C-alpha cells in the first residue's frame, strides 16, 4: 500500500509541476496515472487530500536531501552550492500557477508549505551561515538570523509567478540568480576564491 501510494504521489507531483494544480481534475490525474479513479480513491479521499499528501512527501524529501548533502559537503560553501544545484534542477520547469493555486484553493497545503519555509528552510540556512562563518568562508560580520529570514522571504517572493517580470523566466533561472546574489553577498575573501572556481559548474 505504501509503495503504491508513494508511486501515485510521485507521479502526481510531476503532473502538478507540469500543468499546475487547479487545472487538473481527479479524472485527469487518474487518466495520466493510468489507474481508475476508484483505485485513486483507495489512497486519497479527494483532491485536497492528494495535494496535501503530495506536498508532505515533497517536504520530507527536501529534509532528507538537505541532511544527505550536509553529510557529503566538505564545507558550508560547497553545501550551499550542492543544495542550489539540486533545487535548480528539480524545479527548473515548475508551473507558474502553483504558488497561486496553493494559496487560493488549498489552504492546508499552503500552510504546510509556509511552515516548511519559515521553520525548516530558515533553520537550514541559519545553520549553513553559522557553519560558513566558523570555517571562514562567510563574512564574520553577518547576522545569521536576519540573513536567513531575508533569504526565506526572497525565495517566497520569487515563487509568485504572477509578477510579470518573473513570468519571463523559468524558476531554475530565477533561483540560480538569487543564489549568486546571496552567496556573493555573504562570502568572505576566502569564500570568494572558492565561489569563483565552483559557481559556474553548480549553477550552469
Residue 134 structural domain: 47-203
In a domain, 20, yes or no: no
Instruction: Give, for all 204 residues of the chain, the pLDDT tens digit.
Output: 587 899 999 999 999 999 999 999 999 999 999 999 999 999 999 999 999 999 999 999 999 999 999 999 999 999 999 998 888 888 777 888 888 899 999 999 999 999 999 999 999 999 999 999 999 999 999 999 999 999 999 988 887 767 888 888 888 888 889 999 999 999 999 999 988 888 777 776
Which long-range CB contacts under 8 A does 65-70 form with residues at least 24 apart? 66/124
- Rounded to whole angstroms, the Cα distance separating 27 from 37 reads 6
Q: What is the pLDDT of residue 1?
A: 52
In a domain, 38, yes or no: no
Asked whether residue 97 is domain-assigned, the answer is yes
CB neighbour list of residue 192: distance below 8 Å, 6 or more residues apart: 184
The pTM of the whole model exceeds 0.85: yes
Give domain status of residue 167, yes or no. yes
CATH of the domain at 171: 1.10.357.10
pLDDT of residue 75: 95
* Residue 161 maps to a domain: yes
Q: What is the pLDDT of residue 132?
A: 98
Domain-embedded: residue 18: no
Q: Is 8 a domain residue?
A: no
User: Into how many domains does the chain fold?
Assistant: 1
Q: Tell whether 13 is covered by a domain.
A: no
Query: What is residue 204's predicted lDDT score, i.e. its pLDDT?
Result: 64
In this prediction, residue 73 carries a pLDDT of: 95
Instruction: Extract the C-alpha cell encoding 21.
Output: 494544480
- Positive or negative: CA dihedral 180, 181, 182, 185: positive
Amino acid at each position: 500500500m505504501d509503495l503504491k501510494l508513494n508511486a501515485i504521489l510521485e507521479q502526481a507531483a510531476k503532473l502538478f509541476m507540469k500543468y499546475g494544480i487547479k487545472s487538473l481534475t481527479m479524472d485527469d490525474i487518474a487518466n495520466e496515472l493510468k489507474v481508475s479513479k476508484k483505485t485513486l480513491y483507495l489512497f486519497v479521499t479527494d483532491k485536497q487530500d492528494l495535494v496535501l499528501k503530495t506536498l508532505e512527501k515533497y517536504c520530507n524529501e527536501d529534509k532528507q536531501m538537505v541532511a544527505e548533502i550536509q553529510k557529503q559537503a566538505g564545507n558550508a560553501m560547497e553545501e550551499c552550492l550542492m543544495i542550489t544545484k539540486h533545487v535548480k534542477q528539480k524545479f527548473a520547469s515548475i508551473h507558474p500557477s502553483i504558488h497561486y493555486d496553493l494559496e487560493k484553493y488549498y489552504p492546508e497545503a499552503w500552510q504546510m508549505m509556509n511552515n516548511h519555509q519559515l521553520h525548516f528552510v530558515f533553520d537550514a540556512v541559519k545553520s549553513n551561515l553559522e557553519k560558513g562563518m566558523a570555517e571562514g568562508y562567510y563574512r564574520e560580520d553577518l547576522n545569521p538570523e536576519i540573513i536567513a529570514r531575508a533569504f526565506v522571504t526572497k525565495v517566497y517572493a520569487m515563487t509568485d509567478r504572477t509578477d510579470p517580470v518573473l513570468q519571463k523566466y523559468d524558476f531554475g533561472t530565477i533561483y540560480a540568480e538569487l543564489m549568486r546574489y546571496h552567496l556573493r553577498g555573504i562570502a568572505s575573501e576566502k569564500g570568494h576564491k572558492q565561489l569563483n572556481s565552483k559557481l559556474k559548474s553548480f549553477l550552469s
